[in-house]
Chain A
Amino acid sequence: SQQGEEDPQALSIQEGENATMNCSYKTSINNLQWYRQNSGRGLVHLILIRSNEREKHSGRLRVTLDTSKKSSSLLITASRAADTASYFCARHGSSNTGKLIFGQGTTLQVKP
């Protein structure tokens, strides 16, 4: 399959703890993107990391990319109840139309 695989599928932590979600993919990429989806809502773009970058930060988010292992991770530090959502990695398809191929996602629950 060309789609990304995320693990864990579900993660439950206490507020204040860090949450790490992983994504693996099988083909070469130009970049990898992470999106958040609150329950029953639309997708919100979080961060994009290019294939020549190894790490990127945005606020409490840290994304790493290891192209040799074809994997990426999203770390949310000092989690809050409002971080409760599903998190998806996405990469572009090989057809160059800009379509995104999403992973299965990780459902994160942050308990207050």
Chain B
Amino acid sequence: EPEVTQTPSHQVTQMGQEVILRCVPISNHLYFYWYRQILGQKVEFLVSFYNNEISEKSEIFDDQFSVERPDGSNFTLKIRSTKLEDSAMYFCASLRRRHSDYNEQFFGPGTRLTVL
């Protein structure tokens, strides 16, 4: 069964460093998302991406964040200068199409980001 994959599973970085979180969505999916979950809290939407551009972003997704789909398979989230409060689990998700009857989003296993 196709699945969303994410690498690395755990990333430890120093405050102020840049990190890139990588995701490989399901191959025939068209809509891509990043969410984050701070430990013990709910899952929060960060950004949605369609047709090679951001379709929506949340207040959390400030100028320090960017997303890219550099080729036909990868979808990346970059944090330019990490802060302590960026420590969280980051989930990538993909969706085949929005207007189908069954619009389940498929989530990756997540990347745990720890900023020291």
| B104 in complex: contacting residue of A33, A103, A105, CB < 8 Å | A33
Count residues on chain A whose CB falls below 8 Å from chain B CBs: 27
Taking a contact as CB atoms under 8 Å apart, the answer to whether A42 and B110 are in contact is: yes
Number of interface residues of B (CB under 8 A): 27
Whether A45 pairs with B105 at a CB distance below 8 angstroms is: yes
B-side binding surface: helix, strand, loop or mixed? strand
Nearest CB in chain A to that of B102: its residue: A48
Rounded to whole angstroms, the CA-CA distance of A96 and B98 in the bound complex is 8
Across-interface contacts of A44 in B (CB, < 8 A): 107
Contacts of A105 on B, CB cut-off 8 Å?
42
Pick from B55, B95, B98, B109: contact of A42, CB under 8 Å: B109
Query: Which residue numbers of B lie inside 8 Å of A, CB to CB?
Result: 31, 33, 35, 42-45, 48, 50, 55-56, 89, 91, 93, 95, 98, 101-110, 112
4 cross-chain pairs, A with B, having the tightest CB-CB distances, nearest first? A42-B109, A97-B56, A43-B107, A102-B43
